[in-house]
Amino acid sequence: MLKSVKNTILDIIRQADLLLLALCTVTSLFGVVMIYSATRYQGGLKCVIIQLCGLALGIVLYFVVSMVDLTEISKKWQWLLAFNLGFFLLLKTPLGVSANGNLAWLGVRGIPIQVQPAEVVKLTFILLLARQLVWMKGRGDMKSIPAVGLLAGNLLVTIGLYYAISSDMGSALVYVCIFACMAFAAGVALRWFALGIFGAGAGFYLLWELDKIPPYMKERFQVLVDHSLYPLGAGWQQTRSLMAIGGGRLTGQGLLHGAQTQSTSSVNLPFRHTDFIFAVIGEELGMLGCVLTLALLAAIVIRCIVAARNAKSQLDAYICVGVAGMLVFQIVSNVGMCLFVLPVVGLTLPFISYGGSSVVTLFIAMGMVSGIQKRSLPDRLR
């Protein structure tokens, strides 16, 4: 009995990409340390405990998902589509929880755990889109108007429904980036990307001129051009973030010794354990800490790209590209936001920022890549 259990466990471990797991775990543990530093002023360990629980669950799910055949799941595309739309619609039920102006979480009163549907649906959206791309590729139709319209329809329905319910622009943009990366990898003609960028830019300009963009969103773009605008309003968070990063210089002020990070005033460096945790790293660990953080995240992205290049099927390759695109967009958006060169869109830093559902979802995504990477190896190396 014990020997059978041991063999099963060893078989599960052999099916996983241990290098990718090590990279994700080290990065997440580093994030836990920074979350502890960023929340120490609150006098509790709630965020640290939730993050560690999310990490432990994520590691277990990493091994489980590594053994799943994604091809078979993707064949149930009708169920994937229904799940995506149905999960978003749950936000309109009593389970929906609003925070910071966005109806983007699901929770039950009395239970301190919330789930962000946009995080979970990213994975099923990647599977659904990968299946759609393989089907279209098989028909040899990747350039016609009907084909591109069908692809764009999948994206627009998903983000349109989500944004209409939640008003969460940041997560909606992640879906756009995932779509763009996977469509590019599948060979969609570049003219369609150019047309999409032009159309989005023209639409944004028209909405701006017609005063259809919410004032708070306008201000977030205006402060990028002139940092002196709204210093106590829209520009406050990013100004404090830039000051924190600049104050860290090369080696930082020391872990648990950051002037703004350890301030007992939550407004001194807002959202320091979520959106602006990169500013915490810059202040306490300096530029060297920032470089280390980006190096760890870059290694994870590169591993996803390697898995895409080695994949045995187009479906597997597209899935890996989608996961890599998701990570890259969130990393660039978060770091750019902290450096005051991109607008605040509420995207956290993958594996580093606080968020139980986020870290669990990320490890599931990495489990998908892990299984693809392992299945691409010859039998003698698996």
What pLDDT digit, counting tens, does each position of 184-199 carry? Answer: 999 888 888 999 999 9
Is residue 212 a part of any domain in this protein?
A: yes
Is residue 11 a part of any domain in this protein?
A: no
pLDDT digits (tens, 9 = 90+) for 24-55: 999 999 999 999 999 999 888 999 999 999 99
Q: Supply the range of the domain harboring residue 101.
A: 19-381
Is residue 33 a part of any domain in this protein?
A: yes
b/e sequence 233-260, b meaning 16+ C-beta within 10 Å? ebbebbbbbbbbbebbeeebbebeebeb
Beta strands in the chain (DSSP E): 96-99, 102-107, 114-115
| Residues, the chain | 382
Give the whole-angstrom CA distance, residue 242 versus residue 235.
Answer: 11
Q: What is the pLDDT of residue 239?
A: 93
Quick one: tokens of 340?
């005051």
Q: What is the pLDDT of residue 213?
A: 87
Is residue 6 a part of any domain in this protein?
A: no
DSSP string, 284-334: HHHHHHHHHHHHHHHHHHHHHHHHHHH-SSHHHHHHHHHHHHHHHHHHHHH
Q: Report residues of the chain scoring pLDDT below 50.
A: 380-382
Quick one: tokens of 283?
């202040």
Q: What is the pLDDT of residue 371?
A: 92
Give the whole-angstrom CA distance, residue 151 versus residue 134.
Answer: 12
Q: What is the pLDDT of residue 380?
A: 44
Give the whole-angstrom CA distance, residue 74 versus residue 315.
Answer: 9
Is residue 3 a part of any domain in this protein?
A: no
Q: What is the distance of C-alpha 196 from the center of its chain?
A: 23
Total tally of structural domains belonging to the chain? 1
Residues near 137 by beta carbon (within 8 Å), at least 6 away in sequence: 186, 187, 314
Q: What is the pLDDT of residue 336?
A: 96
CA-based torsion, 2, 7, 12, 13: positive or negative: positive
Is residue 57 a part of any domain in this protein?
A: yes
Give the whole-angstrom CA distance, residue 265 versus residue 34.
Answer: 18
Give the whole-angstrom CA distance, residue 233 versus residue 223.
Answer: 10
Which is nearest to 24 in space by CA: 278, 256, 327, 255? Answer: 327
Quick one: tokens of 172?
């909606």
Q: What is the pLDDT of residue 180?
A: 95
Is residue 179 a part of any domain in this protein?
A: yes
